[in-house]
A and B are shown apart, each in its own frame.
Chain A
């Protein structure tokens, strides 16, 4: 149970903008345990997005290593990293990242197609996922016909549809009000409890902290406490 699924050691990330260099991450060490909900918190600009992108193999660190199930990721080619993301990871973003001209059902279907989910099981899987986020009756709606919270829950349904091991969520509640935000976070909680998923989530909302198993606080690119 206490298996470490993702580990980052000595992670550094610099951004050069003009003359000056911003140290967005400074020698960060982090471990994510399987089957837990981990929250990265911190003020805006603290480096949360940078860190979660590096952990999620979207971005590469300038120094340090990221391990997924003890496999080093930054030495992989772009294509291999695409594969890792496609099969093992799911993503939820701050902006409502559904494909606007696909219905809720189709958005999930697309994810299944992308990860080669067996064609015969797709339909039932989509329905399961919709049920899991409590939106079975919204299958044929377009993202624009959903409220912000509903759309974000569909995004979660999409991110878990292909049964990934880890879900990365960068400020999934950022565009939502507190009530809807809680709804979304509760979905994550139940996923961790019932589906044994691992969730890594960033937020700057202090109200969310109680539900997390682990909380890391970032400040100026460093983890300040555990």
Chain B
């Protein structure tokens, strides 16, 4: 058996190699999906945790258990400590499952101990603490450490922090006498030294304990053994502090950590009457929430890869079996029975699967690692590293794919093994029947199913639009991907149903004139035997998926960027310091503040500035319509001409255009534009007189010139309840005292921002604030979620290309190998090599070329139809502008086209080389037996 397998593999070495490469590729792609997702989620988690530490200044690994000891009798303290401490040591802390960086136990008295022998009358409330392992983490900056100090009987040596020394005005070397409330007993404490942290970043110090301010810190053992027993003070609390290594938190353990903590917290509370606090736990809640959402979004982009890989596996195995039919028939004629044949095939596919399972997942992991997290879609400069690991999931995915592969190998083998050599020889040359899907009208069925599905989803989209339901609350459904795939497949199949007929017509039109090469290739396409159709569908499908990734990435990034730009309003926004000259009198007399206008010319002269404008805005404006005041109106004053040149605003966002509305404003000084909502809900007509005011200003009469939905920085959904008015700044300033305004700048080009910043520094200019659009976009883009989406899209796109390329090459190599005899005959008949290569070129054009073209066409159609659906699903709650208002550049699609064309060229080269190496006499031998 094994020998037979060995022989078979040896004989078909190249074929088996193709299979192994094919299967390993499929396995690595499939396993890279979960690997990559985990990598991204891990990054999201670690970014969140780092933010917590460095921005919120909370150490995420800090875990505290605090037991209140106020009501515990002195004699019971030891027992109480001895029951709870071992539980914490041996159960609670190990249960969290993270490495411990540092830990300490703190004993504290109450904080109202009074120092009675001071040099002044200030009341000093102090506490005494014992902290385990304390002296190893400090540095003495004044005096001596506890262990170097000699002890006097009846006096406790203590250390104090710098802060304590300063706040309480205490000195080294002095002995203080402490008293607790009205207890007459005094306790002597000698300050032997002042300490500071040896290392600020030592996890030992990450507990928020205010640098133990107002505390005397005495030896930990003394505190337990002597201090509490002998002195009059009672113990206030014991704290067990543990610093966990939070960097070891990852996807695999967050949930376990979280639930371990929750269990402990209630146990500690119920059984030991203590409180546990693990600061990171709320963050973990957020994170777990975010994780499931993000996972859904990422899945949108990954489901197609998996569908494609399955498709590809089926294609390859069908090809192989098709070629092997001959061999099966021979085996049978030599007396092998059905079982044996199936066994051989099973062994072969198990062998291939095993190798794929060994190579695939680590290779997928390697690729993910090499790729990292790109800074944007297909942007590989400054990409970030990604943590990758192999777990059960990858192997589960791989095994599922391989089971499909084995099934795809076995089913045709099963059929083939039923046929005897005689039947086979007869069927070999029989005119092939129509492909299965055509006979069963699968194309039409798929189309109907996908149309039905689409209809359902568009219904949902309407719900979102009409009711304004938060789209993220609608569950993302991977079914949409099936629908997308079915739609693409059905269009592709429909095309393939027609294609042979089209070729037939072409064939007949030029029948008399065809060159032999064209005659053969046209005939091959016209009477295609299903195999051609497989590669055609495959190409159409992969290209559509590729286009889909490109367009989704484009839409997501573009929309995000445009939203930021819209909300920024201009490349740079700044505000000078405005100081009123009548600040005091204005307040008392309730008159408007009066300002002196800062020099406006300087902005125009700044380097890198193309144009500038003044923008006045107030959030608490009031508009008076039909003698009714409507508050909380957003008022903006501009100079239309400069504003139009400076602000970022897509012309087509307003109908008929942005300029049209600017013109309306400039036609008359008193013209204003108001938000649609204001117009509709108050029954205002163009030409109506309204009054506006803000702050302490008087009412300004204005004429409504038009209504708008969008205006730079105006968020219609945010202002849905309040409203918006834009008018002429000159008119406002003429009617009202001068008010502080913002200056908006438009920059010349990409380098201008740096120039501008430098110029501002050189000229020593200072502003209340200066914001740039570019900085904001850069900041948004470093959001790990967005990076994750971009990374996944990149992965999915690259996977598409790889799978297309490999599928393409394997298909063509196998198909040429299967036709060696035919080529030999053609060559014997006197067909020159050149003409034979022309046959290959023609077939590439008629099969690959046409499918690629169709792939682009069908892909574009489907993308048009489906991208709104992806939009509503890809949780974009901050979306203000309608999606796709600015067309996405299609450089990526063009690059993809170029990539695929070069793939065809490489394929052609390989094939031509192969064909030119065919020896005619050797090829003809294939026909003998």
Does B886 count as interface, using CB distance less than 8 angstroms? no
Q: Total interface residues on B, using CB and 8 Å?
A: 35
CB of A144 within 8 A of CB of B430, answer yes
CB of B426 within 8 A of CB of A144, answer yes
8 Å CB contact of A114 from B427, B428, B829, B927: B829
CB of A58 within 8 A of CB of B924, answer yes
Q: Kindly list chain B residues whose C-beta atoms are within 8 Å of the C-beta of A145.
A: 430-431
Q: Kindly list chain A residues whose C-beta atoms are within 8 Å of the C-beta of B519.
A: 109-110, 113
Q: Kindly list chain A residues whose C-beta atoms are within 8 Å of the C-beta of B430.
A: 142, 144-145
CB of A87 within 8 A of CB of B830, answer yes
Please provide the chain B residues from 609 to 628 with a CB less than 8 Å away from any CB of chain A in the complex.
none
Please provide the chain A residues from 60 to 100 with a CB less than 8 Å away from any CB of chain B in the complex.
78-79, 82-87, 89, 91, 93-100
8 Å CB contact of B927 from A93, A99, A102, A144: A93
Q: Kindly list chain A residues whose C-beta atoms are within 8 Å of the C-beta of B95.
A: none
CB of A95 within 8 A of CB of B830, answer no
Q: Given A96-B429, A99-B520, A111 and B829 touching (CB < 8 A)?
A: yes
B138-146, B522-530, B673-681, B719-727 - the one binding chain A: B522-530
Q: Kindly list chain A residues whose C-beta atoms are within 8 Å of the C-beta of B924.
A: 53, 58, 93, 170
Q: Kindly list chain A residues whose C-beta atoms are within 8 Å of the C-beta of B432.
A: 101
Please provide the chain A residues from 20 to 59 with a CB less than 8 Å away from any CB of chain B in the complex.
49, 53, 56, 58-59
Beyond contacts A49-B921, A97-B927, A171-B928: 6 other A-B pairs, Cβ-Cβ < 8 A, are: A49-B925, A58-B920, A82-B832, A99-B523, A110-B519, A144-B430
Instruction: Report Cα–Cα, A170/B928, bound state, in Å.
Output: 10
B683-691, B744-752, B820-828 - the one binding chain A: B820-828
Does A1 count as interface, using CB distance less than 8 angstroms? no
Please provide the chain B residues from 498 to 532 with a CB less than 8 Å away from any CB of chain A in the complex.
512-516, 519-520, 523-524, 527, 529
Whole-angstrom distance between the Cβ of B824 and the nearest chain A Cβ: 9
Does B87 count as interface, using CB distance less than 8 angstroms? no
8 Å CB contact of B830 from A85, A97, A102, A142: A85
Instruction: Report Cα–Cα, A100/B426, bound state, in Å.
Output: 11
Q: Kindly list chain A residues whose C-beta atoms are within 8 Å of the C-beta of B833.
A: 78, 82
Does B831 count as interface, using CB distance less than 8 angstroms? yes
Instruction: Report Cα–Cα, A2/B524, bound state, in Å.
Output: 44
Instruction: Report Cα–Cα, A134/B527, bound state, in Å.
Output: 27
CB of A144 within 8 A of CB of B829, answer no
CB of A113 within 8 A of CB of B516, answer yes
Does A143 count as interface, using CB distance less than 8 angstroms? yes
Whole-angstrom distance between the Cβ of B819 and the nearest chain A Cβ: 10
Q: Kindly list chain A residues whose C-beta atoms are within 8 Å of the C-beta of B822.
A: 99
Q: Kindly list chain A residues whose C-beta atoms are within 8 Å of the C-beta of B512.
A: 119, 122
Does A115 count as interface, using CB distance less than 8 angstroms? yes
Instruction: Report Cα–Cα, A109/B426, bound state, in Å.
Output: 24
Q: Given A100-B429, A101-B529, A113 and B514 touching (CB < 8 A)?
A: yes
When C-beta atoms are compared, the residue in chain A nearest to B926 turns out to be A95
Please provide the chain B residues from 415 to 445 with a CB less than 8 Å away from any CB of chain A in the complex.
426-432
Instruction: Report Cα–Cα, A142/B427, bound state, in Å.
Output: 12
When C-beta atoms are compared, the residue in chain A nearest to B825 turns out to be A97
CB of A114 within 8 A of CB of B831, answer yes
CB of B831 within 8 A of CB of A94, answer no
Does A106 count as interface, using CB distance less than 8 angstroms? yes
Q: Kindly list chain A residues whose C-beta atoms are within 8 Å of the C-beta of B513.
A: 119
CB of B829 within 8 A of CB of A94, answer no
Q: Kindly list chain A residues whose C-beta atoms are within 8 Å of the C-beta of B920.
A: 53, 58-59
**Interface digits, B46-86 against A, CB 8 Å rule (1 contact, 0 not)?**
00000000000000000000000000000000000000000
CB of B921 within 8 A of CB of A59, answer yes
Instruction: Report Cα–Cα, A9/B451, bound state, in Å.
Output: 74
Q: Kindly list chain B residues whose C-beta atoms are within 8 Å of the C-beta of A53.
A: 920-921, 924
Q: Given A102-B523, A106-B523, A83 and B927 touching (CB < 8 A)?
A: no
Instruction: Report Cα–Cα, A41/B515, bound state, in Å.
Output: 38
Whole-angstrom distance between the Cβ of B432 and the nearest chain A Cβ: 8
When C-beta atoms are compared, the residue in chain B nearest to A143 turns out to be B429
Residue with the greatest number of chain B CB neighbours at <10 A, chosen from A82, A98, A109, A111 = A82
Whole-angstrom distance between the Cβ of B105 and the nearest chain A Cβ: 81
Whole-angstrom distance between the Cβ of A154 and the nearest chain B Cβ: 12
Instruction: Report Cα–Cα, A143/B527, bound state, in Å.
Output: 14
Please provide the chain B residues from 163 to 208 with a CB less than 8 Å away from any CB of chain A in the complex.
none
When C-beta atoms are compared, the residue in chain A nearest to B919 turns out to be A59
When C-beta atoms are compared, the residue in chain B nearest to A50 turns out to be B921
Whole-angstrom distance between the Cβ of B207 and the nearest chain A Cβ: 79
